Amino acid sequence: MKKVLTLLSCFAMMITLVACGGGSSDGGASSDTFVMGAEKLTGTFSPLYYASSYDGYVVDLVYDKLMDYDKDDVLVPELAAEEPTVSEDGKTVTFKLQKDIKFANGDKLTADDVAFTFQVLADPSYDGRYSSKVLYLEGLDAYRGVMNPDTKKYEGGSGKLEDFTGIKVVSDTEIQFTFTEERSDNLITVATQAIVNKEDFADYAFGDVKAVKDAMGEPNGTGPYTMKSWDAATGAVFEKNEGYWGEGFEIAKVIIKPVEMTTDWTELKNKSVDYLAGMIEPKKVGPASATDYIEFSSYPRAGMGYVEMNTAAGSTMDAAVRKAMMYAFDRQAFVDSYYECKECKGIDGVGAYVPQMYANPGSMMGDIVRGEEEIAGLDSFDYDLDKANATLDAAGWVRGTDGIRVKDGQRLEIKALTIKDHDILSNIIPMWQKNWKEMGADVKIATVDFNTLLDKVYSDDALNEWNIFFLATSWTATEVDIFTSFHSTEAKNGGDNLSRISDPELDTLLDEALRTLDEDAQKEVYKKIAVKLGELCVKVPVYGNTYFDMYNKEKVEGMKTNTFYPWTSALKDAKLK
Q: 527, 289 in Cβ contact below 8 A? A: no
Sheet holding 174-178, edge to edge: 85-86, 92-96, 174-178, 167-171
CATH classification of the domain holding 256? 3.40.190.10
Which three-class secondary structure string do you get for 454-482?
Answer: HHHHHCHHHHHHCCEEEEEEEECCCCCCC
| Domain, as residue range, for 188 | 67-214
User: Both 81 and 101 in a single domain?
Assistant: yes
Q: 200, 109 in Cβ contact below 8 A? A: no
Mean pLDDT of the 470-485 span: 91
Q: Which pLDDT score, from 0 to 100, does residue 446 have?
A: 96
Q: 41, 235 in Cβ contact below 8 A? A: yes
Residue 316 falls inside a structural domain: no
194-230 pLDDT, tens digit each: 999 999 999 999 999 999 999 998 999 999 999 999 9
Q: Which pLDDT score, from 0 to 100, does residue 30 have?
A: 66
What's 538's DSSP letter? -
394-451 pLDDT, tens digit each: 999 999 999 999 999 999 999 999 998 888 999 999 999 999 999 999 999 999 988 8
Q: Which pLDDT score, from 0 to 100, does residue 31 have?
A: 77
Residue 356 falls inside a structural domain: no
User: Both 89 and 209 in a single domain?
Assistant: yes
User: Both 122 and 198 in a single domain?
Assistant: yes
Q: In the predicted model, is pLDDT for residue 1 greater than 50?
A: no
Task: Report angle CA 514, 516, 521 to the nearest 5 degrees.
Answer: 125
Sorted by sequence, the CB contacts under 8 Å of residue 127 that are 6+ apart come out as: 209, 493, 494
Residue 510 falls inside a structural domain: no
Residue 163 falls inside a structural domain: yes
Task: Report angle CA 519, 524, 526 to the nearest 5 degrees.
Answer: 90
Q: Which pLDDT score, from 0 to 100, does residue 243 have?
A: 95
User: Both 221 and 250 in a single domain?
Assistant: yes
Domain boundary among 159, 193, 214: 214
Residue 536 falls inside a structural domain: no
Higher pLDDT among residues 233 and 254, named by residue: 254
Residue 75 falls inside a structural domain: yes
How far apart, in whole angstroms, are the C-alpha atoms of residue 358 and residue 265? Answer: 30
Higher pLDDT among residues 289 and 394, named by residue: 394
User: Both 121 and 48 in a single domain?
Assistant: no
Nearest CA-CA partner of 43 in 229, 197, 173: 229
The pLDDT confidence band at residue 368, using thresholds 50, 70 and 90, is very high
107-156 pLDDT, tens digit each: 999 999 999 999 999 999 999 889 999 999 999 999 999 989 888 889 99
Mean pLDDT of the 380-388 span: 96
Q: In the predicted model, is pLDDT for residue 317 greater than 90?
A: yes
User: Both 85 and 169 in a single domain?
Assistant: yes
Mean pLDDT of the 485-506 span: 94
Q: In the predicted model, is pLDDT for residue 461 greater than 50?
A: yes
Residue 204's alpha-carbon distances to 81, 167, 188, 211, in angstroms, are 29, 19, 27, 5
Q: How many CA atoms lie within 13 A of 430 on its CB side?
A: 7
66: helix, coil or strand? Answer: coil
Sorted by sequence, the CB contacts under 8 Å of residue 430 that are 6+ apart come out as: none
Mean pLDDT of the 368-391 span: 95
User: Both 166 and 276 in a single domain?
Assistant: no
User: Both 72 and 186 in a single domain?
Assistant: yes
Residue 527 falls inside a structural domain: no
How far apart, in whole angstroms, are the C-alpha atoms of residue 63 and residue 192? Answer: 11
How far apart, in whole angstroms, are the C-alpha atoms of residue 559 and residue 401? Answer: 61
CATH classification of the domain holding 177? 3.90.76.10
Q: In the predicted model, is pLDDT for residue 9 greater than 50?
A: no
Residue 354's alpha-carbon distances to 296, 305, 320, 541, in angstroms, are 24, 9, 22, 7
The pLDDT confidence band at residue 165, using thresholds 50, 70 and 90, is very high
User: Both 75 and 155 in a single domain?
Assistant: yes
User: Both 79 and 173 in a single domain?
Assistant: yes
Domain boundary among 214, 245, 262: 214
How far apart, in whole angstroms, are the C-alpha atoms of residue 280 and residue 406? Answer: 40
DSSP string for 170-226: EETTEEEEEBSS--TTHHHHHHTSB---GGGGTT-BTTB-HHHHHTTTS---SSSEE
| Residue spans of alpha helices (H) in 224-330 | 264-269, 282-289, 319-327
Tally of structural domains, the chain: 2
The pLDDT confidence band at residue 29, using thresholds 50, 70 and 90, is low
Nearest CA-CA partner of 3 in 378, 244, 359: 359
Within 358-462, strands assigned E span 398-399, 405-407, 410-411, 413-419, 442-448
Q: In the predicted model, is pLDDT for residue 27 greater than 50?
A: no
User: Both 195 and 231 in a single domain?
Assistant: no
Higher pLDDT among residues 550 and 349, named by residue: 550
Q: 106, 244 in Cβ contact below 8 A? A: no
Average pLDDT of the chain? Answer: 91
Q: Tell me how crowded residue 56 is: count the other CB atoms within 10 A of its CB.
A: 28
Q: Tell me how crowded residue 89 is: count the other CB atoms within 10 A of its CB.
A: 10
The pLDDT confidence band at residue 22, using thresholds 50, 70 and 90, is very low
User: Both 289 and 204 in a single domain?
Assistant: no
How far apart, in whole angstroms, are the C-alpha atoms of residue 305 and residue 335? Answer: 11
Residue 285 falls inside a structural domain: yes
Q: Which pLDDT score, from 0 to 100, does residue 519 have?
A: 93
Domain boundary among 214, 236, 268: 214
Q: Which pLDDT score, from 0 to 100, does residue 262 have?
A: 83
